[in-house]
Amino acid sequence: MARKILIIDDEDDIREVAALSLESVAGWDVIKASSGAQGLARAAEHQPDAILLDVMMPGMDGPSTFREIRKNPSTAQIPVLLLTAKVQGTDQRHFADLGVQAILFKPFDPLTLSKQISSALGWKD
């Protein structure tokens, strides 16, 4: 059975490249959301196996979206990986302290993105 991944990112190009990568390289099913609010609704509706969440978004940013995901009993157990261009150590520690499964960095390699996610989550496909 194919994994189901929700990508929450306000940048169309990032969403599309990540989706194409995960669909074509790993054969996963991808659900996309362009905002934190839309992502929360899609997470509850589709119950993905994992969420790839952008940090910097207008309105509800990634950390705020992550906290809302954890508050909802229907989505609280879904593993979340942050996707960020911020590479400073203080930012990384702050993100890690949130309790996310992993932090992945932009730009990512589309050919290895699914392997990075699988490795971070301990998935054996």
For residue 48, what is the domain's CATH number?
3.40.50.2300
Q: Does residue 34 or residue 106 have the better pLDDT?
A: 34
User: Which of the 8 DSSP states describes residue 28?
Assistant: -
What's the pTM value of the predicted model, to 2 decimals? 0.93
Task: State yes or no: cis peptide before 73, omega within 30 of 0.
Answer: no
Q: Which residue range forms the structural domain that includes residue 49?
A: 4-121
The count of domains in the chain is 1
- 3-state DSSP call for residue 65? helix
Q: Tell me whether strands 29-33 and 50-54 are parallel, antiparallel or unpaired.
A: unpaired
Convert the pLDDT of each residue in 41-64 to its tens digit. Answer: 999 999 999 999 999 999 999 999
| Spatial distance between the Cα atoms of 54 and 36, rounded to a whole number of angstroms | 9
